[in-house]
Structures are given as structure tokens and as C-alpha cells.
Structure 1
Amino acid sequence: MSHTEKAPQNQPEHPVTDRVHEALAVTRRGVDELLPEGDWIKKLARSEATGVPLRIKLGLDPTAPDIHLGHTVVLNKLRQLQDIGHTVIFLIGDFTSLIGDPSGRNTTRPPLTAEQIKLNAETYYKQASLVLDPGKTEIRYNSEWCDALGARGMIQLASRYTVARMMERNDFHDRFHAGTSISVHEFLYPLMQGYDSVALKSDLELGGTDQKFNLLMGRHLQAEYGQEPQCILTMPLLEGLDGVEKMSKSKNNYIGISEAPNEMFGKLMSISDDLMWKYFTLLSFRPMDDIARLKAECAAGRNPRDAKVMLGQEIVARFHSVQASEDALVDFVNRSKGGVPDDIPEVTLTLPEGGLAIGQLLKQAGLVPSTSEALRMIDQGGVRIDGTPVSDRGLKLGQGVCVVQVGKRKFAKVTLQG
């Protein structure tokens, strides 16, 4: 594949029409940075005048099998740009995953095996298709062109960027001055991600704010290869349920898009009133004017819970169905009143001699990950049996059936039998 053809020179200026202004407003919604905005306006105007859609790229390394709402911030922006007529390239970084992205890290990240990458990639696009329009999405794998580079091509690519510029990157700079090791292969990651933009001739690349260096690398390499440089668009990182750290499975503050409707809705209802508005901007498809009106109504005295219900139902309906969103609201109201949901799991446990300790019961029923977590929840008053709070860490249960609750959302109907 040749990427050295020159971009057309002295391209004519195209008029900036009302439709271009509308497309720019769609692009700007919720973004952290759009660089350079003037170049993006020119690209939009050219596309409007010629009818040729722009090529918009998102690269994702399949480092985990599941996508959470934090990932969908960028996917939502892709869908908005799809809906105004542009081509979305969903790039699975099966080659770059073998290197490991050092972005935002203070240690070398272990690369994934080819088997892990394949398994994770199988679910990535399936889940992303709940947001994107599959009929308007081009799926690519960067092993297509990266494998073909070979040693000679890799050396030639590396010659197009300096070590001094590479060391300007915050994580490399900090690790170098802290005396933390940096492996040479980590320098290859931003080069390979940038080369993806050359191979795909992208007009715009999206990513989180932590990806800015890599996105700018794409601009640099496209210019090196004689192409019109892409613009870059960074989206804010979405805070998780704690409202502090970015949404992450490792921090257990996430909402997975494949979670059960009731669990998803309950988690969304648990976010703070302030964080709710950021979720509206980055996750909702409602027009910004509607969101601003709703925010003003809440400031004037309307219960913010009404707005949170709208957000929760919209998100659940997107990933499940309208009926599921309605059922989730009913379930949430019942729980808020101390009721028990209709769809709780049923678990049968073997009763040891002398009874089953409450900590073991909670763990074996799948309501907590460990007995230490069970005891912590008891100490915090977060455990109930048949609606009655449990305060005794040493409680043992005998034969019978009971409904066990941990926190606000976890229930199980437990049968204990000898």
C-alpha cells in the first residue's frame, strides 16, 4: 500500500454555509479541543460543496472485552458525525495492542497476547454497534498495513520523528526524570498509531484527552507523507459513579453497556446532581437547547430527580429497549420504597453443620466479592435479611429460604438446605 501520493495543492476555498455552521456545532458539542478548528471548517465546507464525506477515525485497542459508558463518549460523537453524512472508520488496533499504549502510565504496560486481542475484539465492535450505525461504519484492523511494513519500513517510519520530540510527551518526560525505565518499543506506539492515519487518509481523528500526543502524531506523519493533515478532536474523560476518578472497571466506578437494565438505571440514578449535567452533555442525544432548558427548570425549583430519570431511561432504552427502561424505573421506585424487585436471582446453598456464617452466605450468593467486603457492608448497615438490617458479624443462618439485600441494588433469594 502506498501512502506517498501528494494531496491536491491550492485547493479552492468553499463557502461556509448554514449547513457547515450546523455541522460545526455538532462537532463542538461537549468536546475538550478541536484542532485546528479553522482547518476543520475548511474540510466541512469542501465536503458540503463536493458531496464527498469526510473520513473520521477512531482507533481502539481491545485491551478488555467490555465497553462502559466512559468509552461511549467518543462513540457518541462518532454517531453524531455519522448522522450528518460522514464516514466513520472504527479501527481495531490488533497490531498496536501487541505493543501496549503507554499513554498516561508511569510504568511499562504488558502487551496483550494475540489470543486475548482476538477474543476482546470480537465483542468490541458488537457492543460499539449499539451506538454506531453499522451500515455507515468502515471496520478496519491496523495489522493490515502494520504487518506489511516489515523491519525496513519500521526503520523508515521511525526516521520521521525525533527522540527530542518524543520526550516532550508528559508520561515519557516524567518517567525519564523519575529514573523509571522506558522501553524503546514504547516509542513505536505513537508512531504506529500516527501511521494508521496515513494508511486511512483520515480527515479527523477522535480520542480522549489522554490521547492528544498520539493524535497529533497522526497530523505530523500525514504531512511527512505528503497528505493533507487530519484535524484532531479530544473528548473529556467521563468521571465514574464516585464523581472523582475517570470511569474505570479497575476502580469499580463504571456502568457497563451490557449490564442488566435495572442495574444500569440504578447506577445512573446514584450519580450526583452536578455530575448529571456532564452525563447529559456527553451521553445524551437530546439537543443542547433541551438540556439547557431542563437545567434551568431544576435551578428554578424542579426536582433534579426528574431530569436524572429522563437520562437513565434514555440510556437504558438505547442499550436495551424502551420497555426495559420503563420496567427499570418501576423497579427503582419499588426499591426506593423498600420493596423487593421481581427479577432477583435465586440461589441454593449447602448448609454446613452448625449453620452458614453471614459473610460466607453473602459471598457464596454472589452479592459480595469477598467475606471481608461482606463484613464491611454489615458494619455500614448495608445488609438486610427479609427486610431486617443485619448488625451481627457472627450471625449464622439455618435451613430455610430468605431474601438477602446488600446495598440498594443487590438482592438474592437464598435457599439453605442440608
Structure 2
Amino acid sequence: MNAQSQSAPADRAAPSGTTATLPVSDRVQEALAVTKRGVDELLIETEFAQKLARAERSGNPLRIKLGLDPTAPDLHLGHTVVLNKMRQLQDLGHNVIFLIGDFTSMIGDPSGRNATRPPLTREQIELNAMTYFKQASLVLDAEKTEIRYNSEWCDPLGARGLIELASHSTVARMMERDDFNKRFKANTPISVHEFLYPLMQGYDSVALKSDLELGGTDQRFNLLMGRELQKDYGQEPQCILTMPLLEGLDGIEKMSKSKNNYIGITEPANTMFAKVMSISDVMMWRYYELLSFRSLAEIAGFKAEVAAGKNPRDVKVALAQEIVARFHSAQAAVDALADFVNRSRGGIPDEIPELSLSGAPLGIGQLLKQANLCASGSEALRMVEQGGVRIDGNMISDKGLKVEAGTMVLQVGKRKFARVTLA
């Protein structure tokens, strides 16, 4: 089934207008170049080139699959690295399948985990899945995207089918996974159901007859499982394409909501802009490589300008505006820059949360916690200690401060504000 229509932003990368007039071999090379930009690995490139050539000759587009488990209610920029690639392949004329892993979410993907992932309830999964494709449509062309749920074929398998599927792999094969191997050597428990995850993901490729499956570098084992199962089921094996994992705002860990180092694609424009501006000048180029739709030549030009003395902040502004415009609008990007400049000069954003609290005089730690500016009182006191708390623009250094009744603007760090009336 196809998704409901949702228009795509005008600033997205579009397929070349001259592609259709090129000879098949040239079109294949152009498609390969688009496919390989920014990827970590394409396996097996010669096989994929053959698939592309066959699709060009026959007019039958390839079936390209991306699966995401709805383990959280929102997508972030890290998810869009692979979604951007999916969109590029879609613009080349191929059929893309956005697979929502409502069945596999109940198992929990063990990739990169040093402990068993807590399984989600059916209710949590359904709630998260409701928003997934709507948000993914900010990148993909919704009208041309096939949406599937892997419960369609996983639920009917039943116990007999699951046992038969499990016979297609071995414990030794599963232990080749780096995360399983490390956990076994460290005497960290591995639940039997975790072995089912790569099998179920691989079976998705069988059910969908996919020609190419996309995923992050941490998905390599699971993607290869799809190739092996397709061979066992008499299908031509899919090629696999892995995309790098985008580091979060800390520049170290991969972007993740659980690590609070993420940029959500539905966050307010001003917040999104400020978060992009907070990344380091070095990490900026990584974000350009994986998130920008600018040409490689243009990005190389930016690097040359910075090397020649241009302020990297100006180049980062261009990146922040591009990303905000993609998920909001060009005008929102202009307004976000103005808001950012205002904040950097010590100004207060135009729109900040307003709330009323009681209990005056209230300790600064509890005040910041109740105003939802800090997760806990202890975190609030650490922010005071680090000089990151202001009341009406004045920095607070006294962790024992009792705040009297009145209306005030609270600020934590560079981006968190609230106008509070304390009684």
C-alpha cells in the first residue's frame, strides 16, 4: 500500500534531468555514483551494478528496503542519514519500501548492545509507529513510498514456521556477531530470543523480495542474514548498503535520544538551528557530508574558504539554515538565524514557555526542576556550579539561593528559557 500524499520540500536533491537520455552504461555509472556518495560499504558493488543495468534495460525498478523499529516516538537527524540515501534512490526511479518493524520491536534489536534490550509492549509500538512514517515523509516522497509492517508475515509464521526459520542458521553463526561475542566472553547474559532478531530481519527481505537493503553500520550482520536467507529460499540475494552512524551533539557517541545528544526532526526551528550551531567546527564537516544536499564540490569550496581564513561559524550557519529549511521552511531558517543572533547577544527568545509555580521562597534547584529546565534538583545545582544559570540575565552562583515570589525569566545553558511566576 502507498502512503497518503504529502508534498516534498522544494530544496531537496532532485534527479538529473539528463539521466534518461544517457546510454544504459552511463546511467548505471551515474546511479552508482549517487548510491555510493557518503556510504560506508556497498556489498556487492558488481552485483548491484548488474541489478541497475537490468532495471534500466527492462524498465522494472529495483525494490529497495529500509526497516526501522518504532522504539521511540520521534525520529532525529541520525535517522535521516539513511533516509536521505533512500530518497536519492527513490529519485533515481526505484521502488522504496519503508518497513515498520512492529513485530521485531517486540524482540528488541541487540545490535551494539551490551545488555538485553527491554522489549516494548504492543501499545508502545503502535503509538510510536503512528508518527514514524509521517516524520519520514519529511525526507521521502510519500506518494511513491510503499509502507509495510513486518507483522504482516511474521505473525502468521506461528511456532512451526519460527522453528523452521531458526533451522536456517547456527549458534556458531550468531556468535560471529561482535556484540554477542563480547557479551559471551564477559559472561553477560544473552537471551535466546535475541538470536531471533537477525533471523526475523532477514526474513523480511525474503517476504519483500528486496534487491537492496539499507541500514547503519551496526546493522551489517542483520543485512547479511537477509542475503543468506534469500539464497536458502531460492531468491536472488539482495545487495546491502551501510551508512555511517552520525555522531550526536557531543561529537563522540552516536546520535540518540537516550543519550540526549540528538536533534529531532520535528523540534522547533529555533531549537534545531541552535543545536546545529552547537556542534564543533570539526564535527561540522561530518554533518555536511552526511546531512547536506549540497554538491561535494560546493562542500570542498567551503573547506577551502575556511582554510583561507573564513570564519567557520558562517559556514555552520549555512548548514543550520539548510537543515531548518528542509524540515520547516526557508522563512523559518531566516527567523531562526535572527533568534540565534539575538540570544548570542544576551537577548531572550521571542517565544518561551510560561508557567506559574507556588511555594515561595523556593530553592533554586527545585525551582529549575519544577520549571522543567533541569531533569533533577542535583542537575540544577551542577548547572549553578558551572555558571550556567541566570535569572533575568543575571548569573546565579549561590546553590543555596532561595528565590522569592515574583515573575522572572529563568535561563539554563544557552537554549533553555522559561518565564515563571512564583507565588
Contact 1:68 1:257 in 2 (8 A): yes
Q: Could you tell me which residue of structure 1 aligns to residue 407 of structure 2?
A: 401
Q: Pick the aligned partner of 1:63 from 67, 71, 91.
A: 71
What is the rounded CA distance, in whole Å, between the counterparts of 1:126 and 1:222 in structure 2? 30
Q: Equivalent residue of 1:17, what SS? A: helix
Q: Could you tell me which residue of structure 2 aligns to residue 254 of structure 1?
A: 262
What is the 5 A alignment of 1:232-247? Answer: 232-247=240-255
Contact 2:24 2:57 in 1 (8 A): no
Q: Could you tell me which residue of structure 1 aligns to residue 189 of structure 2?
A: 181
Corresponding position: 1:386 with 2:392: yes
What is the rounded CA distance, in whole Å, between the counterparts of 1:416 and 1:172 in structure 2? 52
What is the rounded CA distance, in whole Å, between the counterparts of 1:95 and 1:109 in structure 2? 15
What is the 5 A alignment of 1:156-235? Answer: 156-235=164-243
Q: Could you tell me which residue of structure 2 aligns to residue 4 of structure 1?
A: none
Q: Equivalent residue of 1:168, what SS? A: coil
Structure 1 position 175, deviation (Å): 2.0
What is the rounded CA distance, in whole Å, between the counterparts of 1:154 and 1:361 in structure 2? 54
Q: Could you tell me which residue of structure 2 aligns to residue 40 of structure 1?
A: 48
What is the rounded CA distance, in whole Å, between the counterparts of 2:103 and 2:356 in structure 1? 45
Q: Deviations over 1:89-136 (max 9, x none)?
A: 000111111212111112222211111111111111111111111011
Structure 1 position 58, deviation (Å): 0.6
What is the 5 A alignment of 1:39-188? Answer: 39-188=47-196
**What letter corresponds to residue 388 of structure 1 in structure 2?**
N
Structure 1 position 20, deviation (Å): 1.3
Contact 1:16 1:41 in 2 (8 A): no
Q: Equivalent residue of 1:104, what SS? A: coil
**What letter corresponds to residue 84 of structure 1 in structure 2?**
L
Q: Equivalent residue of 2:73, what SS? A: coil
**What letter corresponds to residue 164 of structure 1 in structure 2?**
A
**What letter corresponds to residue 407 of structure 1 in structure 2?**
G
Q: Could you tell me which residue of structure 2 aligns to residue 6 of structure 1?
A: none
What is the rounded CA distance, in whole Å, between the counterparts of 1:174 and 1:362 in structure 2? 41
Structure 1 position 320, deviation (Å): 1.4
Q: Pick the aligned partner of 1:374 from 360, 373, 380.
A: 380
Q: Deviations over 1:357-405 (max 9, x none)?
A: 2222211222111111111111111111121111111222223222221
Q: Pick the aligned partner of 1:270 from 263, 266, 278.
A: 278
Q: Which runs of 4+ in 1 moved over 3 A?
A: none
Q: Equivalent residue of 1:89, what SS? A: strand
Structure 1 position 85, deviation (Å): 0.8
Q: Deviations over 1:163-215 (max 9, x none)?
A: 22122111222222222222222211111110100110101001111110000
Q: Could you tell me which residue of structure 2 aligns to residue 8 of structure 1?
A: none
Structure 1 position 416, deviation (Å): 2.1
Structure 1 position 16, deviation (Å): 5.4
Q: Pick the aligned partner of 1:361 from 357, 367, 376.
A: 367
Q: Equivalent residue of 2:129, what SS? A: helix
Q: Could you tell me which residue of structure 1 aligns to residue 348 of structure 2?
A: 340
**What letter corresponds to residue 44 of structure 1 in structure 2?**
L
Q: Equivalent residue of 2:382, what SS? A: helix
What is the rounded CA distance, in whole Å, between the counterparts of 1:306 and 1:284 in structure 2? 15
Structure 1 position 242, deviation (Å): 0.6
Q: Pick the aligned partner of 1:309 from 305, 317, 325.
A: 317
Contact 2:263 2:272 in 1 (8 A): yes
Distance change >3 Å, CA 400–CA 181, structure 1 → 2: closer
**What letter corresponds to residue 202 of structure 1 in structure 2?**
S
**What letter corresponds to residue 199 of structure 1 in structure 2?**
A
Structure 1 position 309, deviation (Å): 0.7
**What letter corresponds to residue 43 of structure 2 in structure 1?**
L
**What letter corresponds to residue 275 of structure 2 in structure 1?**
K
Structure 1 position 351, deviation (Å): 4.0
Structure 1 position 249, deviation (Å): 1.3
Contact 1:88 1:137 in 2 (8 A): yes
**What letter corresponds to residue 399 of structure 1 in structure 2?**
A
Q: Equivalent residue of 2:96, what SS? A: strand
Structure 1 position 24, deviation (Å): 0.8
Structure 1 position 34, deviation (Å): 0.5
What is the rounded CA distance, in whole Å, between the counterparts of 1:45 and 1:242 in structure 2? 42
Q: Pick the aligned partner of 2:33 from 7, 16, 25.
A: 25
Q: Could you tell me which residue of structure 2 aligns to residue 5 of structure 1?
A: none
Q: Equivalent residue of 2:147, what SS? A: strand
Q: Deviations over 1:66-92 (max 9, x none)?
A: 111111111111011111111110001
> Where in structure 2 are there 5+ consecutive unaligned residues?
1-22
What is the rounded CA distance, in whole Å, between the counterparts of 2:243 and 2:344 in structure 1? 34
Q: Equivalent residue of 2:97, what SS? A: strand
Q: Equivalent residue of 2:234, what SS? A: coil
What is the rounded CA distance, in whole Å, between the counterparts of 2:52 and 2:313 in structure 1? 39
What is the rounded CA distance, in whole Å, between the counterparts of 2:259 and 2:47 in structure 1? 38
Q: Could you tell me which residue of structure 1 aligns to residue 15 of structure 2?
A: none
What is the 5 A alignment of 1:316-327? Answer: 316-327=324-335
Q: Could you tell me which residue of structure 1 aligns to residue 307 of structure 2?
A: 299
